[in-house]
Chains A and B, each alone.
Chain A
Amino acid sequence: GAVVSQHPSRVICKSGTSVKIECRSLDFQATTMFWYRQFPKQSLMLMATSNEGSKATYEQGVEKDKFLINHASLTLSTLTVTSAHPEDSSFYICSAENRQGNEQFFGPGTRLTVL
């Protein structure tokens, strides 16, 4: 149980295009999901908290207009990187919180490369 999937696992795009990444909780419902970013050889940094049915909460320094988050159902959150640039190239990982709110389950990550 407690499986989280991400799609796609890898994406390469041209500068200026938008990319959508999906995060799904497969066997449980998650009112809260989180999006992290990880640069090479660095730890994960929280970008935003995604709440089902309401606006996402962004961490300081994260542009909400650039990283659009939609959490339209209890099993799906999407992160859209708008007008992507090479500096947005990174590993994006999502997690979904259990009902008790005391544990997060992580997706396998999405490698974004912007040319």
Chain B
Amino acid sequence: KQEVTQIPAALSVPEGENLVLNCSFTDSAIYNLQWFRQDPGKGLTSLLLIQSSQREQTSGRLNASLDKSSGRSTLYIAASQPGDSATYLCAVPYNTDKLIFGTGTRLQVFP
């Protein structure tokens, strides 16, 4: 059964730092991986979707990489800002179109 874990569980940094969030999955037979952002009490915002044929995707200050063989993905946030404070979730599909979510990383960026 697919298991998705994220490290660290929580992170608190001063603004301006470059950050790396990690996502690990046990079954490498995935066809994509997605990163989401969730603000407290809110729904999900999709950040990046990486297809299995891709190694990375970039959107603004965000860069996500995918290494299927090692079962890992990283989300890189450059020059972090207080507005980046949120919970970041990765998710992989299983049984064709269902999603299984990681445990999440709670990020706080302080001024």
Contact = CB atoms under 8 A, between A and B. Distances in A.
Question: Is the contact region of chain B dominated by helix, strand, or loop, or is it mixed?
Answer: strand
Interface string A79-109: 0000000000001010101000111111111
Interface string B35-51: 01000011111100100
Question: Which of B96, B98, B106 gathers the greatest number of chain A CB atoms within 10 Å?
Answer: B98
A34 B104 CA distance: 20
Interface of B: 31-32, 34, 36, 41-46, 49, 89, 96-104, 106
Contacts of A41: 106
Interface size class of A (residues with CB under 8 A): 20 to 34
Contact of A109 (B42, B89, B99): B42
Q: A-B pairs with the 3 shortest C-beta distances?
A: A108-B43, A106-B44, A109-B43
A103 B44 CA distance: 13
Contacts of A106: 36, 43-46
